[in-house]
A and B are shown apart, each in its own frame.
Chain A
């Protein structure tokens, strides 16, 4: 079955540690996205990538980093510079083109203790 996988589902880290969230897709989509979701605030775009080896900052990129070495993979690193990292993180992908729907993974809930 084609789709997007995110792992792990739940992640706990101590304050000050970097942590990497995995996102893999087998839909052959060129574009991939990372969103952060907080209660009552909808989805906020962290980073996006339209093509391999290229990515752009979204609205809240500070404290995060990404890489896009393969078409299928778009990992997100939450660094110690992110002041409030506890949130639900969603990865999405789409065919290139702004009117194409985004397909979402199941999400990773990160809790920083």
Chain B
């Protein structure tokens, strides 16, 4: 069975500082990995996804993530955050044998002025 761990439930960071949100997964099969963002009282919006190919994936709003198969990680990074990046971020994994998406518990990013 697949699972996703997001070790940091909350990450406070000052505006214009870099940030990394951590995501680790466990799966015995090939995986597809996703990061979603959720603003308060809204649905989820896809930031980026890794399906195959280059392990460095660039997404919207200046975010990027790196797939590391040996460490089973897919950490999300942004070199300089803005107040508007304050939101909840979810990592998700799906497999190629009919498994559904499995979401991590989420990380609440708070960008401070």
Mark A residues whose CB is within 8 Å of B. Answer: 4, 6, 33, 35, 40-43, 45, 48, 58, 88, 90, 92, 98-99, 101-107, 109
CB neighbours (8 Å) of B44 from chain A are 43, 90, 92, 102, 104
Given A48-B100, A98-B32, A99-B94, are A107 and B43 also a contact pair (CB < 8 Å)?
yes
Among A41, A42, A105, the residue within 8 A (CB) of B43 is: A105
Alpha-carbon separation in the docked complex, A104 to B9 (Å): 22
Main secondary structure of the interface of B (DSSP, over half): loop
Q: How large is the interface on B (under 10, 10 to 19, 20 to 34, 35 or more residues)?
A: 20 to 34
Q: How many A-B residue pairs have CB under 8 A?
A: 55
CB neighbours (8 Å) of A99 from chain B are 32, 51, 94, 96
Q: Which one of B12-20, B71-79, B101-109 is at the A interface?
A: B101-109
Query: Taking the complex as formed, is B68 at the interface, i.e. its CB lies under 8 A from any CB of chain A?
Result: no
